[in-house]
Amino acid sequence: MPFPSGCAREPQTLRRRAGSRTGVATPAAWAGLALGFLALTLGTGCQAPGMKLDARPSGQASLMKVGDLNCTLRPITPELVVTEASRQTPEADLAGLAVDQAPFYRIGPQDVLLATVWDHPEITLPMGPNRTDATSGCLVDEKGEIFFPYAGRVKVNGLTPSELRDVLTARLGTVLRNPQVDVKVVAYRSQKIYIGGEVRNPAVYPVTDVPFTLAEAVNRAGGFLASADEGHLLVTRGSRSWVLDFRAIMAAPNRLADKIILRDGDAVQVPNTIDTPVYVMGELVRPGSQPLIHGSLSLARAISEAGGVQVASSNPTSIYVIRGTANAKAVDVFHLDGRNPATMVLADKFALKPHDIVYVDAGTLTRFGRVMSQILPTVEATTQAAVGAVTIRYLKRNY
């Protein structure tokens, strides 16, 4: 039966409706499929880009494995602050460096000695109007000996000036009656100490009869430069070395500064602050590296110098200090829960060490936003391409 004139296109319309149910997906269906893919991606454990550290200690030190690293996680507590501070006291490790009494100077090769025998000018070398003690004295040879009239060759290496005076008095006593002998070192050349780094006058300095304390070493070198890290002076003696906090030693009781006596061959190196930085990372206003201030820097000051934590994106319960150890596969991780501002008192008392890493983790919403910012552009582009292709195919099949 023929269709009315107003229904001439009815069969084609029916075909269009039927076509939508014959396996050809509509653009709306593809959009729904894209959203389903997004939900599936988020639900299958997709991780946010960037670093993440969300471990929590259980009130005491705990161990955890991160790749090949053995991490010891410790909460920052008042007890930990006291323990860490005790490890950094000037007296903590000065064995072999600090002495109770300064040693006497002992003569060595290349020193110049002046021996005077009173009332016997014929024995004492004539000085003359233009001669100095150094040019008129006796040079100690490479064997550690000198020649003195009526005493012959005398072994002086390792003797103090008073001990040498006794030796010369005994030998001259066989020739002279009750000789009065005086001995002094007029040129100190046998013992030297190197002072380098961030001081005004780095050089090799001779050891004299004045005790060569650590303070004396800094004084002879002209003092520190503005770039000096005073808290990590490196003193080397043979195969041993010590890292010393100069300011703490000078402020320590019991005259500790006078007990650190340098010896022949010692070296004092004053590092630059840029060689001993602290790194601040994560959700901070100005992450980067910070120099130690006079050799010290607290956790609270490091966070403050970085502009503080990002209030909108940080997780205040996840503030960490990551510190390397002598073992390349062991790391100490200190955790601070900063939800309560009162904990910043602990942070102010927690001293950082060179090359420590301060890390503030991101919050959950921040991580979710970063996941979405990575996924949504891909989903949007895929959806647009799929919808465009299906739309063209749909129109071709139905029109």
Do 337 and 379 reside in the same domain of the chain? no
Q: Answer with the one of 158, 187, 216 that is the final residue of a domain.
A: 187
**pLDDT tens across 99-130, in order?**
888 889 999 999 999 998 998 877 775 555 55
What pTM was computed for the model?
A: 0.68
Do 283 and 350 reside in the same domain of the chain? yes
pLDDT at 331 over 70: yes
Inside any domain, residue 392? yes
Note the pLDDT of residue 158: 95
Confidence of residue 16 (pLDDT cuts 50, 70, 90): very low
The average pLDDT across 153-170 equals 95
Number of C-alpha atoms within 13 angstroms, CB side, residue 111?
31
Alpha helices per DSSP H over the chain: 10-19, 27-43, 78-87, 133-136, 161-172, 214-220, 246-251, 299-305, 344-349, 364-398
Inside any domain, residue 328? yes
Q: Answer with the one of 228, 254, 274 that is the final residue of a domain.
A: 274
Which stretch of DSSP H or E encloses residue 314?
A: strand 314-324
Do 291 and 339 reside in the same domain of the chain? yes
| Residues in the chain, total | 399
pLDDT at 370 over 70: no
Computed over every residue of the chain, the mean pLDDT equals 80
**pLDDT tens across 83-106, in order?**
887 776 555 567 778 888 888 999
Do 285 and 327 reside in the same domain of the chain? yes
What range does the domain containing 124 cover?
A: 112-187
Backbone φ, ψ for residue 196 (5° rounding) = -140, 180
Least confident segment among 21-25, 75-79, 201-205: 21-25
The average pLDDT across 73-77 equals 90
Q: What is the CATH number of the domain that holds 337?
A: 3.10.560.10
**Residues 6 or more apart from 317 whose CB is under 8 A from it?**
56, 337, 338, 339
Do 320 and 290 reside in the same domain of the chain? yes
Q: How far apart are CA 190 and CA 87, in angstroms?
A: 37
CA-to-CA separations, 152 to 142, 149, 172, 185, in angstroms, rounded: 17, 6, 10, 19
Q: How far apart are CA 380 and CA 31, in angstroms?
A: 9
User: How many domains in the chain?
Assistant: 4
DSSP structure string for 119-165: T-TTTSPP--TT--HHHHSEEP-TTSEEEETTTEEEE-TT--HHHHH
Q: How far apart are CA 245 and CA 294, in angstroms?
A: 9
Structure tokens at 270: 């004053």
Confidence of residue 34 (pLDDT cuts 50, 70, 90): low
Q: Answer with the one of 214, 248, 274 that is the final residue of a domain.
A: 274
**pLDDT tens across 241-299, in order?**
998 989 888 888 778 888 899 999 999 999 999 988 999 998 999 999 999 888 889 99
Note the pLDDT of residue 69: 85
Note the pLDDT of residue 295: 83
CB contact at 8 A, 74 and 83 = no
Inside any domain, residue 3? no
**pLDDT tens across 177-204, in order?**
999 999 999 999 999 999 999 999 999 9
Q: What is the CATH number of the domain that holds 165?
A: 3.30.1950.10
Confidence of residue 379 (pLDDT cuts 50, 70, 90): low
Inside any domain, residue 159? yes
The average pLDDT across 226-247 equals 91
Confidence of residue 386 (pLDDT cuts 50, 70, 90): low
Do 125 and 157 reside in the same domain of the chain? yes
CB contact at 8 A, 307 and 280 = no
Q: How far apart are CA 337 and CA 344, in angstroms?
A: 9
